[in-house]
Amino acid sequence: MQAYDLMRNRASTETLGTSEDGPSKVTPEVEALHSRCGVYTRTEVVCRILDAVGWRAEADLSRSRLLEPAAGDGAFVLEAARRLVGAFVRLGIALIARTLIGRITAFELHRGEAEKARSRVRRALRAAGAHHKTAEACAQAWITDGDFLLTDLPRDHFTHAVGNPPYVRWSKIPPDLKAEYEAQVPREMTGGDLFLPFLDQALESLRAEGQCGFLCSDRWRYMAFAEEFRVKWLPRLDIRSELSLSASDAFVADVDSYPTILIACKRQPAQTKPQGAQAKSGKTLADLGYVVKVGPALGHTPAYVLESNEADVEPQLLHAWIDGSEIREGALEWQGRRVVVMYGDDGQLIDPTEFPMLLARLERFRKPLERRSIVRDGAPWFRPIDRVFAAAWRRPKLLVPELAKIPRLTIDRSGAIPSHGVYAIFAPDDDVEPLYERLRDGALAKALDEIAPKVKGDYVRCYKRFLLMITLEN
């Protein structure tokens, strides 16, 4: 099993550039991004970070799992692999794929750099005495050429997270990639610098008591764009050291930046709950088995969503679509818009040539659809970003707009598909009424008051994780 199989990928394989037709070329956007951020770490600094987080040949790494979110040509992965093998040899553990593969997971967006990293890892494993098939299997499984930010990693999974995440101002991210991140990455982590969602996602994937070591800017400490990151993570981290060093000491290339080595340990969740939630004796929605899902990201809404006066798509493909503005406290005021459902309940993307009206409509939007990075990376030009299934939304659900001055909710039993700015709460037994009764008439706003941070303009962000933390008193 490849390490990658451990993960449910939020993006499709096409998005990751691994279409069934074989490897796709590095797109100009990936090339541009890489040329802006591909600044590699000196081996001494890599070693220092791995030492600090305890990824050492002297440690028992037999059950450890290391994450490297942005591997480049493999500075961290190579040294981590050497130490892993050193630990295994010392402990008498066989150097075979079964024991090794789950220990390291790395991502690199640039296919060519990912391959360089694999090749270095292969050589190191061979030099340590591993069979060439083992070396190959590990190199392939450990380093995924894919987009870390678009991959749905398991939470609380890794014991170690290390690396030197890409450092690129948000405005300098190539436009299609930026649009995709803005559609899929938690909004409070976007808009400032690319390294912030990397830290956020890596920390989410780290398990409690897991160790992290990042070479990164310390701008997250004081810049306004990182305020929500600080609110979220400062109470959940034991920061063990933050050491500034010169760029020439840190990096192989000569760059103008001021890096810091951040070493931290993720606290146990009990210590991280907001005080109000801790004080309560009831159970959270997560404990009670409620499921929260955000509406699908489409990629180019006008192509897939028909206004109430439009009728240029075969009716059997259309389903009611609602956004936050149509959700009132206790009422759904559907304005008649419908979304094209591009996937059958069998999970297959439909072939638009079988639906002449749909094809003609999509053709009208062909240019903007083709400009999306999922398409440049090999996805069919007509595919929405997320798979839009009607079946996934048929169950009764509570709908909550993501952003609201006063959080509000209503019940939907119509099977409507929400926009990407709306969260749906599903009950384990499909009976959403009792929860609705508990949260109606301002009770949702009160429950979120102590959990969800307010953002600019005094809006409350009703994210999935905050909704799941709502505690129902007995």
Ligand X SMILES: C[S@@+](CC[C@H](N)C(=O)[O-])C[C@H]1O[C@@H](n2cnc3c(N)ncnc32)[C@H](O)[C@@H]1O
Indicate whether 72 belongs to the interface with ligand X (CB under 6 A).
yes
- Using DSSP, state whether 114 is helix, strand or coil: helix
- Asked if 55 touches ligand X (CB under 6 A), the answer is no
| Min CB(64)–ligand X separation in Å | 19
Q: Is 373 in the site for ligand X (CB under 6 A)?
A: no
Binding ligand X by CB under 6 A: which of 55, 76, 88, 220?
76
Q: What is the smallest separation between the CB atom of 142 and ligand X, expressed in angstroms?
A: 13
Shortest Å distance, C-beta 181 to ligand X: 8
CB 452 within 8 A of CB 466: yes
Residue type at position 19? S
**Residue (98 or 169) nearer to ligand X, CB:** 169
CA distance 245 to 54: 21
Using CA atoms, how far apart are residues 33 and 168, in angstroms rounded to an integer? 8
In which element (H, E) is residue 141 found?
Answer: helix 132-142
Q: Could you give the angle at which helices 132-142 and 111-127 cross, rounded to 10 degrees?
A: 150
**Minimal distance in Å, beta carbon 119 to ligand X?**
15
CB within 8 Å of 236: residues ≥ 6 apart: 203, 266, 267, 271, 272
Contact 361, 403 (CB under 8 A): no
- Measured between alpha carbons, how far is 246 from 258 in angstroms, rounded to an integer? 6
Report the alpha-carbon distance of residue 436 to residue 439 in Å, rounded.
5
List of residues 6+ apart from 160 with CB closer than 8 A: 53, 54, 55, 64, 65, 66, 67, 206, 210, 211, 212, 213
Q: Phi/psi zone of residue 191: left (φ > 0), alpha (ψ -120 to 50 degrees), beta?
A: left
Nearest distance from residue 35's CB to ligand X, in Å?
9
- Of the candidates 108, 85, 83, the one whose C-alpha atom is nearest the C-alpha of residue 4 is 108
Using the contact rule CB under 6 A, the part of the chain among 15-23, 47-55, 104-112, 410-418 near ligand X is 104-112
Site for ligand X in 263-282 (CB under 6 A): none
- What is the footprint of ligand X within residues 156-175 (CB under 6 A)? 163-164, 166
| Position 75 contacts ligand X (CB under 6 A) | yes
Binding segment for ligand X (CB under 6 A), chosen from 37-45, 239-247, 370-378, 382-390, is 37-45
In the complex, minimum distance from the CB of residue 123 to ligand X, in angstroms, rounded to a whole number: 17
Q: Which of 7, 8, 24 is nearest to 16 (CA)?
A: 24
Q: State the nearest-atom distance from the C-beta of 378 to ligand X, in Å.
A: 16
110 interacts with ligand X by CB under 6 A: yes
The DSSP secondary structure of 204-268, one letter per residue, reads HHEEEEEEEEEEEESGGGT-GGGHHHHHHHGGGEEEEEEEE--HHHHBSS-----EEEEEEEEPP
Count of residues that bind ligand X according to CB under 6 A:
23
Indicate whether 180 belongs to the interface with ligand X (CB under 6 A): no
Q: Stretches 67-75, 95-103, 230-238, 434-442: which one binds ligand X (CB under 6 A)?
A: 67-75
Binder among 16, 39, 53, 305 for ligand X (CB under 6 A):
39
Nearer to ligand X, 117 or 130 (CB): 117
Instruction: Check binding of 9 to ligand X (CB under 6 A).
Output: no
| Residue number, 110 or 232, with CB nearest to ligand X | 110
List Cα–Cα distances, 57 to 60, 90, 92, 313, in angstroms.
8, 8, 13, 61
Residue 144 touches ligand X, criterion: CB under 6 A: no
Residue 197 interacting with ligand X (CB under 6 A): no
Which tokens is 71 given?
């591997």
> Least Å distance between CB 417 and ligand X?
28
The verdict on 109 binding ligand X (CB under 6 A) reads yes
If one asks whether residue 53 binds ligand X (CB under 6 A), the answer comes out as no
Q: Which is nearer to ligand X, 44 or 437 (CB)?
A: 44
Q: State the nearest-atom distance from the C-beta of 59 to ligand X, in Å.
A: 21
Q: Pick from 10, 38, 240, 286 the residue near ligand X by CB under 6 A.
A: 38
Q: Any contact of residue 34 with ligand X (CB under 6 A)?
A: yes
In whole angstroms, the minimum distance from the beta carbon of 193 to ligand X comes to 12
Question: Which residues are at the interface with ligand X (CB under 6 A)?
Answer: 33-34, 37-41, 70-72, 75-76, 107-110, 113, 147-149, 163-164, 166
